[in-house]
């Protein structure tokens, strides 16, 4: 048990790794909410504590989990102590984790979280939903981040907030990227700025909407369901566009980086706009774009992202191409082959297949990629997505109200 303080509320609560587990009286979905994966982001913890302690188990279908992430860092109110807990969830790291004799604080946290995740998945039939609650160091609209699969797109479109996809192509080891390798619906929700009381309010609204959409609690039993929906719609300025990441300035060890002040997430910038200073040199936007998650805190390696809006035509086209598995045709092209017989990844010989453009891979669902000297290995989220377990869910053909 630890005490967690939130400056915006001037309030302290006491929580454990499992904030609360609610087992419903009837079968249904299993939803897992993560909070405090970064120790200076307390809004999600407070939101879960508030919501879960008000729910009547008799109203619940299935099972609801509320988890805290980096307990040690939460206690110190630091993003992390030795290593970013949201950058170490790679298959390679997890394979060697249990054999390590000495763990740093974040690895100790990871072992405990990983054990809970495995236990949940092995104990229930599902369908499973994994939601990771975060806040940002800059001012921002509430928004959703997803790994780009159709099940994630469909579910995220229920919420009246902007959606950003493709971030996994730029970050190595986020928790939800690992969950996506298991094929389950998983969303990241950024509710606002770290110490803004609105961030807690928006996180509460998001939690209730998730519970209602998956029928963990019937919507008619969530008294203010429409109020929560309209709250997020208002806070997001009625922006529900889908964006993709086109640039990340990664901060390397020893780099002296400083973001220029007063940039907000989803702020439009023109080509040439000065954004930050790195080792005395000015960094500028190389194209007309949108600023996303500029860094205004001491810890963190992601200086800023640039994103751009995706036209609905291309979103719809990519859905059609993925549904008919058009990516199967890629393997007949020179320099392209399947990595394994399961056909979850393609290997591209860069000397032969230089003509294959990045947008083509995006359309077909390939985003997470790894590059060596001569080959590109790209992974398809669609081929591992467990679509079948979600197709009977009420939200599958439902879109958010106008």
pLDDT of 399 above 70: no
Tell me: cis bond preceding 127? Omega within 30 of 0 counts.
yes
pLDDT of 273 above 60: yes
CA atoms of 207 and 194, how far apart (whole Å): 18
Supply 4's token pair: 């967690």
- Band (pLDDT 50/70/90 cuts) for residue 369 is low
The pLDDT value recorded for residue 336 is 87
Supply 290's token pair: 């949108």
Give the list of residues 6+ apart from residue 184 with CB closer than 8 angstroms, or none.
Answer: 126, 127, 128, 129, 130, 386
pLDDT of 400 above 60: no
User: Percent of the chain at pLDDT above 90?
Assistant: 72
Least confident of 95-99, 124-128, 180-184, 291-295: 95-99
pLDDT of 401 above 80: no
The pLDDT value recorded for residue 327 is 83
- Band (pLDDT 50/70/90 cuts) for residue 370 is low
Cα–Cα distances (Å) from 33 to 4, 172, 179, 369, in that order, read 17, 21, 13, 27
The pLDDT value recorded for residue 49 is 97
pLDDT of 182 above 60: yes
Q: What are residue 391's phi and psi, to 5 degrees?
A: -65, -20
CA atoms of 72 and 331, how far apart (whole Å): 47
The pLDDT value recorded for residue 371 is 64
* Between 197 and 366, residue with greater pLDDT: 197
**DSSP secondary-structure letter at 324?**
T
Q: What's the whole-number mean pLDDT along residues 255-263?
A: 95
- Band (pLDDT 50/70/90 cuts) for residue 19 is very high
- Band (pLDDT 50/70/90 cuts) for residue 402 is very low
Query: From start to end of 235-374, where are the E strands?
Result: 242-250, 257-259, 267-269, 274-278, 281-284, 289-292, 302-309, 336-338, 345-349, 366-371
CA atoms of 344 and 360, how far apart (whole Å): 17
Domains of the chain (ranges; CATH) run: 2-235 (3.40.630.10), 242-309 (2.40.50), 322-379 (no CATH)
The pLDDT value recorded for residue 110 is 97
pLDDT of 326 above 60: yes
The pLDDT value recorded for residue 361 is 81
DSSP 3-state assignment of 143?
strand
pTM above threshold 0.85: yes
pLDDT of 24 above 90: yes
Range from 171-175, 272-276, 323-327, 362-366 that averages highest in pLDDT? 272-276
Tell me which H or E stretch contains 332: none
Q: What's the whole-number mean pLDDT along residues 259-277?
A: 96
Q: What's the whole-number mean pLDDT along residues 37-59?
A: 96
- Band (pLDDT 50/70/90 cuts) for residue 357 is low
Contact 69, 85 (CB under 8 A): yes
Q: Token pair 């519970």 is at which residue? A: 211
Q: What's the whole-number mean pLDDT along residues 224-243?
A: 96
* C-alpha torsion angle, residues 151, 65, 208, 210 (rounded to 10): 0
The mean of the pLDDT values for the chain is 91
Parallel/antiparallel/unpaired status of strands 289-292 and 302-309: antiparallel
């Amino acid at each position: 048990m630890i005490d967690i303080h939130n400056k915006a509320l001037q309030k302290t609560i006491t929580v454990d790794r499992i904030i609360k587990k609610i087992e419903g009286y009837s079968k249904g979905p299993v939803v897992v909410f993560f909070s405090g994966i970064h120790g200076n982001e307390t809004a999600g913890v407070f939101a879960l504590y508030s919501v879960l302690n008000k729910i009547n188990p008799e109203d619940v279908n299935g099972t609801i989990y509320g988890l805290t992430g980096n307990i040690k860092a939460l206690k110190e109110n630091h993003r992390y102590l030795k290593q970013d807990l949201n950058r170490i969830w790679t298959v390679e790291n997890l394979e060697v984790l249990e054999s390590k004799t000495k763990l740093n604080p974040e690895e100790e946290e990871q072992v405990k979280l990983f054990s809970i995740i495995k236990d949940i998945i092995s104990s229930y039939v599902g369908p499973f939903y994994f939601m990771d609650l975060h806040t940002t160091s800059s001012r921002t609209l509430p928004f959703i981040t997803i790994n780009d699969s159709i099940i994630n797109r469909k579910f995220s479109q229920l919420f009246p907030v902007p959606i950003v996809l493709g971030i996994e192509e730029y970050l190595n080891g986020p928790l939800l990227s690992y969950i996506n390798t298991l094929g389950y619906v998983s969303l990241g929700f950024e509710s606002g700025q770290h110490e803004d009381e609105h961030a807690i309010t928006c996180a509460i609204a998001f939690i209730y909407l998730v519970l209602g959409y998956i029928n963990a609690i019937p919507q008619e039993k969530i008294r203010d369901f429409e109020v929560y929906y309209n709250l997020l719609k208002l806070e997001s300025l009625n922006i529900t566009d889908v964006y993709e990441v086109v640039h990340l300035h990664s901060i390397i060890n020893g780099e002296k980086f400083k973001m220029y002040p007063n940039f907000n997430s989803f702020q439009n910038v023109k080509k040439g706009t000065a954004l930050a200073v790195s080792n005395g040199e000015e960094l500028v936007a190389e194209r007309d774009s949108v600023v996303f998650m500029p860094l205004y805190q001491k810890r963190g390696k992601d200086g800023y992202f640039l994103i751009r809006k995706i036209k609905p035509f291309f979103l719809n086209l990519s859905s059609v191409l993925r549904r008919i598995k058009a990516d199967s045709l890629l393997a007949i092209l020179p320099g392209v082959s399947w990595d394994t017989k399961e056909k979850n990844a393609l290997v591209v010989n860069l000397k032969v297949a230089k003509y294959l453009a990045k947008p083509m891979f995006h359309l077909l669902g390939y985003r997470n990629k790894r590059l060596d000297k001569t080959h590109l290995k790209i992974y398809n989220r669609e081929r591992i997505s467990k679509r079948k377990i979600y197709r009977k869910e009420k939200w599958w053909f439902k879109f958010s109200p106008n």
